Chains A and B, each alone.
Chain A
């Protein structure tokens, strides 16, 4: 009796084996197809890349000069809108607002326009690091608090500044020097929170 059972099990095992072989021979699959590797595409290996510098590399055509005698806050905001794909809002902002601006004034306008933003006034360096780590950029005060520029790069060695009074170049400053300037300028920073532009492909 038990020999019969073993015989039946053996037969089933042989059948399964043949079925498996049959599938392989019928479809003639290469090994990479069995393991779901697409034969038409090369195997993708993450290669080393050099991060784009500055991180927030606003195109020249999207950079905005200070206008109307002291609209540095608005010019910085407009550049960040463009970098984050809010071109219509940038156009509206450029056409609507001008002149000197305070923290409360800017944020009241942003609230009115339904803009998503975050800010700090307590010299929180982590806030700057977050803004650049997420590729969004941030508007920061400088020159004792009478001017605002875009911080477009911020690593452990240096800071990159896009100044709306000189938009043709990025000003590079040692990190600590920049932080000292920011702290002596009310340490105000406002970031808008939308979709940052994609980095240049490598």
Chain B
């Protein structure tokens, strides 16, 4: 009995010893897992592969009311805010080194809204009085240009899916965009009455062609069938 107790104690001690070693090793491994980086003390599993993201620049003078209004649109309007998160969005202020060296030589006026693809091509640019007067107008103009640059067509039945947007964070700098893998922005120009008519005309023409073809085929078949029946 005594021997058995001793043996049991040995086993307990051995298990505890091994357990402690495992715990220590796990802790050490956990500490090394953060080797590849952290975001606010959370390990990064995947770095954002957002090299395909496009760029939106809003350039202007902070004292200018039109600039402030446009910059505000990108914070408050649902569509423009979504576009902002889908792209690398930059606000460039007059007087900064970035403006002086990277924008002043190539903007046509202030304020300017510029959209560039991931390889620097300007896809859309408007400045001063050429900037649309409303959020809807600006979004539609950008969306048309983006759709055209992506080589797509405007599909009236294609609607943007609702995307959850995070609440604004208190920060002295502009709210950072969420970290994600990104490519060209997914935009859908709003449907205008003209485009509905245009699509309707195309649908009518296609329908007319198909029906006419079927009717012609049926008539010729019917005539041939009657001729064979009589013969």
Contact = CB atoms under 8 A, between A and B. Distances in A.
Nearest to A135: B51
Nearest to A46: B121
Interface centre among A33, A57, A85, A191 (most CB of B within 10 A): A85
Contacts of A130: 47, 49
B70 to A, nearest CB: 16
Interface stretch (B6-14, B73-81, B99-107): B99-107
Given A10-B215, A17-B208, A52-B120, A44 B36 contact: no
A121 B38 CA distance: 13
A68 interface: no
Nearest to B202: A34
B197 interface: yes
Contacts of B186: none
A118 B47 contact: yes
B222 to A, nearest CB: 7
A32 B100 CA distance: 41
A36 B215 CA distance: 30
A67 interface: no
A184 interface: no
B176 interface: yes
B198 interface: yes
A13 to B, nearest CB: 5
Contacts of A38: 144, 148
Given A12-B211, A35-B153, A38-B144, A24 B201 contact: yes
Interface in B153-180: 153-154, 172-174, 176-177, 179
A75 B218 CA distance: 81
A16 B57 CA distance: 49
B211 A61 contact: no
A69 B197 CA distance: 71
Q: How large is the interface on B (under 10, 10 to 19, 20 to 34, 35 or more residues)?
A: 35 or more
Q: How large is the interface on A (under 10, 10 to 19, 20 to 34, 35 or more residues)?
A: 35 or more
A6 B216 CA distance: 10
Interface stretch (A147-155, A159-167, A174-182, A193-201): A193-201
Interface centre among A118, A121, A130 (most CB of B within 10 A): A118
Nearest to A35: B153
Nearest to A193: B179
Contact of A197 (B41, B44, B90, B119): B90
Contacts of B215: 6, 9-10, 13
Contacts, number: 173
A23 B197 contact: yes
Interface string A5-37: 010011011001101100110010100011110
A9 B123 CA distance: 49
Contacts of A36: 153-154, 195, 198
B208 A41 contact: no
Nearest to A132: B51
B106 A16 contact: no
A16 B200 CA distance: 12
B139 interface: no
A37 to B, nearest CB: 8
A59 interface: yes
A105 interface: no
Given A17-B212, A194-B177, 10 more contacts: A6-B222, A19-B204, A29-B201, A34-B201, A36-B195, A47-B121, A82-B97, A114-B40, A116-B39, A133-B51
Sorted nearest first, the 9 A-B pairs with minimum C-beta distance are A61-B97, A118-B37, A199-B120, A198-B55, A59-B101, A88-B172, A20-B204, A59-B97, A16-B208
8 contacts: A6-B215, A9-B218, A24-B201, A61-B100, A117-B37, A117-B38, A191-B37, A193-B47
